[in-house]
Amino acid sequence: MDRRSFLLLTAASVVAPPPELFAVSAAQSNKSSTPWYASMRRCGQINYNEHDPLTIDANAWGDYWASLKVDAVLLNGGGIVAFYPTQIAYHHRSQFLGTRDLFGEMVAAMKQRGIRAVARMDCNLAYADALKAHPEWFERNRDGSPRPHTESPWLFSTCMFSTYFTEQMTAIYREINQHYPVDGFFTNGWPSTGTLRVCYCENCRRLFDQLGGVPPEETDVSNQLYRKYYQAYMDRVLAIWRLWGEVAQEKTPQSVYVGNLGGGLDTVKDLKDISQVAAWFNADHQGRSGDTPIWACAQQGRVANSVMQGRTITNVAGAYANAQPNWRHVSKSPAELTMWLAQTTASGMVPWFHWLGGSPEDTRWREVGHSFFNWIADNQAHFRNRSSVADLAVLYPQRTVAFYSRPESHRPRYRGGPIDYLQGLYFALLEGRFVFDFVHESNLDESALKKYRALLIPNAAYLSDRQCEVIRGYVNSGGSLLATFETSRYDEWGNPRPDFQLADMFGAHAAGEVIGPRGNSYARIEARHPVIDDFKGTALLPGAENRVPIRADSPLVLSIVPAYPAFPPEMVYPRAPRTTEPAAVFRETGKSRIAYFAGDVDRTCWRSGDDDLSHLLQNAINWIRGADPVVFISGAGLIEVFAWETEPGYALHILNYTNPNATRGYIRGAYPIGPQQVRFRTDGRAIRSARTLRPGTPLKFHQQDRTVSFEIPAIGDYEVVALT
């Protein structure tokens, strides 16, 4: 029997759900030519397990999700475990399924309540019987052995370059699509945004022969084979995504395939490429652990928006305690979970509320979702964003993040973590209460930059000639620029240049190789300048841990005091207390202002937490941006600000991070901050009302020309002010 006949036969033998469910699905799909997920504002997921068919109550779950007023729910369909009576060979049916069709029941429960149903699939693992029958489906180690899962060793990793992805998973999608009124498919764990896996199965060995050799397992873009493998890997991701998208739409063009993305700032796979095939970007960035700062979720929103540019983005908020260690069946702190949902919403993503386990014994998380989602539903119009109104752009330098200094790479050790530069600038932006957007480096063009008054570049070491030319054109047309450290010192693949490609913009030339890491170095104040005028009572500022020695023609404002011993105390004195080497260059050309820091002040700020370095970055940003920002907020506390033009007017989102657990552990509660004075510049429209959405109270305001001024009396964890 050929494969097509087999698929038709096996699909036809599955028991179908009641036909009225198809009518519901068809009615939903035909309401509009706009994809249904384009207007989605709330999403849920119940991630049930193989044992759950014995106890799970489908209607109870339908009632819960309906109480949250969600637009869609993700439901386990199959892949590793089938939760319906599959007829596809080696598609493992839950051993506890019995005569139930759990997936069919769950889909029916959602459809009866007017909720979209998306099949949650897993393409990454399969059982030993499949390994025995189809060894070509599975990843292999160098010695040819399969790769068992570390915690569930009876499962084995499947290979993306095998027919498991193109044939087996496709057959499963078609089986579900034919017999259940699903509105789309989502794959857990694939393709992700992390590092590439290198497999040694026969499929991959044939690929390596075509590439000219076996690529290194670590991220090493200096290796020509790695570069070829990176491109081949991305091509395969896009091909599989397109295939599954086409299969999802075989029943209705309204259906969608959604991959698993996310990971915050730290991405290796090319998000811009993936965004070209992703109708809906799901960031599986469920929570934080260790020393991850609380604002990591907002950073995820900025990264995703930099490539999706207004198209649908969701972010998964795990309601369980996904710390280190993990506790899958107990709730995380309600305050932590609420803040994660708040950041998701404020940054322009759609919250996706997730619980794992179909019969929970801990239900404390349920009220968090109920309260937050109903609040969004009650104020839905104000969360329909049209565009950001930020006046600052931060370059998201993905190739630098991916390749420049990953811990496992062979790059020189003087370079720190790949995202530390961006983290340091980000923290200074939070402390300075700036409103900003991320611009992905692949989207650099005149139209993307023209709305911003300044472009901030945190050590974008890897930039192409074209990207540098766009930045040059932006500055020459009147835009301002801040850049740090090795920005433009290498091309997009990390090939070194003899000088900064943007040396003419910086007004500085590289005069040698990087010096560092060296502590106890300084920047000496040599002349007054707006960037340093408010540093009183000192001639010295902390120096960057690493720096590029530079030559510059501009007047010397900050000079380098080279590092000297910090121990023992008897040896702590400068050997060269004054030099003519610039630590930074501040210059004006036409309408543009440019600030270039030769050192990694952003990374050093993040790693040290030094207030002078943060203040120096804030001053430089204020100087290059100029007066009259689009949003100005004064008051106490550490906050993050998003400002959106919405369907009814504007929405100002303020996230309160003033908390002892902001950079470690779960927050336990909010630490309210007092009055905040706000100036908000509009496009000139008359504002009729200002209202806080959390308490739902009107605010007194004053409008003069384009500027609206008002006071927010207090902020708990999160506030949204609607201007209409």
Tell me if 207 sits within 8 A of 143, measured CB to CB. Answer: no
Judge whether 158 and 126 are in contact, CB under 8 Å: yes
Architecture of domain 392-625: 3-Layer(aba) Sandwich (3.40)
Half-sphere exposure of 682 (CA within 13 A, CB side): 21
Contacts 24+ apart (CB under 8 A), 693-700: 693/375, 693/379, 693/382, 693/719, 693/720, 693/721, 693/722, 694/375, 694/718, 694/719, 694/720
| Rounded mean pLDDT, 94-106 | 98
pLDDT at 146: 98
pLDDT of residue 263: 85
Distance of CA 189 to the CA centre of its chain: 15
Task: Select from 1.25.40.10, 2.60.40.10, 2.60.40.1180, 3.40.50.410 the CATH code of 631-723.
Answer: 2.60.40.1180
pTM of the predicted protein model: 0.94
Q: What are phi and psi of 177, to 5 degrees?
A: -60, -35
Query: Are 392-625 and 631-723 equal in CATH topology?
Result: no
Confidence grade of residue 32 (pLDDT, cut at 50, 70, 90):
low
| Predicted pLDDT of residue 91 | 98
Instruction: Name the token pair of 108.
Output: 């029916």
Per-residue pLDDT of 562-582, as tens digits, reads: 999 999 999 999 999 999 999
3-378 CATH pick, 3.40.50.1360, 3.40.50.300, 2.40.50.140, 3.20.20.80: 3.20.20.80
> What pLDDT is attached to residue 224?
96
- Amino acid 290: pLDDT: 86
The answer to whether residue 18 scores a pLDDT higher than 50 is no
pLDDT at 4 over 70: no
Any idea of the CA torsion for 510, 513, 518, 521, to the nearest 10 degrees? -30
Confidence at residue 9, expressed as pLDDT on a 0 to 100 scale = 31
Give the confidence band of 719 by pLDDT, cuts at 50, 70, 90.
very high
Starting at the earlier edge strand, list the strands of the sheet with 392-396: 436-440, 392-396, 454-457, 480-484, 592-597, 584-589
Mention every residue, 6+ apart, whose C-beta is less than 8 A from residue 31. Answer: none
Query: In what order do the strands lie in the sheet containing 631-634?
Result: 631-634, 676-681, 707-712, 701-704
- H or E segment to which residue 209 belongs: helix 202-211
Q: How far apart are CA 398 and CA 348, in angstroms?
A: 20
For the record, the structure tokens of 283 come out as: 């960031």
Q: Which residues of 513-535 are buried (b: 16+ CB within 10 A; e: fewer)?
A: ebbbbbebbbbbbbeebebbeeb
Mean pLDDT of 694-699: 96
24 vs 115, residue with greater confidence: 115
Q: How buried is 374 (Cβ within 10 angstroms: 0-12 exposed, 13-18 middle, 19+ buried)?
A: middle
Helix runs in 502-625, H state only: 503-506, 601-608, 611-625
β pairing state of 116-122 and 326-331: unpaired
- For residue 413, what pLDDT band results from cuts at 50, 70 and 90? very low
User: What is the spatial distance between Cα 649 and Cα 651, in angstroms, rounded to a whole number?
Assistant: 7
Q: Take residue 652 and report the two structure tokens written for it.
A: 């100002």
Backbone angles phi, psi at 532, to 5 degrees: -120, 5
- Taking CA atoms, 328 is separated from 50, 103, 153, 305, 355, in Å, by 15, 22, 19, 29, 9
The strand pairing partners of 354, in sequence order, are 45, 318
pLDDT digits (tens, 9 = 90+) for 520-539: 999 999 999 999 999 999 99
The tokens describing 295, both together, are 């604002």
pLDDT of residue 505: 98
Backbone angles phi, psi at 257, to 5 degrees: -105, 135
Position 116 pLDDT exceeds 60: yes
Whole-number mean pLDDT of the chain? 93
- Mean pLDDT within 490-508: 97
Task: Give the residue from 319, 298, 537 showing the smallest Cα distance to 427.
Answer: 298
Does the pLDDT at position 31 exceed 70?
no
pLDDT at 664: 87
pLDDT digits (tens, 9 = 90+) for 628-675: 999 999 999 999 999 999 999 999 999 999 999 999 889 999 999 999
Cβ contacts of 32 within 8 Å, gap of 6 or more: none
Q: What is the pLDDT of residue 323?
A: 87
Residue 480 banded pLDDT, cuts 50, 70, 90: very high
Q: What is the pLDDT of residue 13?
A: 33
Residue type, 281: F
Domain residue ranges in the chain: 3-378, 392-625, 631-723
pLDDT of residue 122: 98
- Compute the C-alpha angle 673/426/284, nearest 5°: 90
Nearest Cα to Cα of residue 263 among 301, 235, 230: 301
DSSP per residue, 145-182: -B-B-SS-TTEEEBPTTSHIIIIIHHHHHHHHHHHS--
Q: 146-177, pLDDT tens digit by residue?
A: 999 999 999 999 999 999 999 999 999 999 99
Contact 509, 503 (CB under 8 A): yes
Cα-based distances in Å from 186 to 53, 82, 121, 307, 494? 21, 15, 6, 20, 35
Q: Determine what percent of the chain is predicted with pLDDT higher than 70.
A: 94
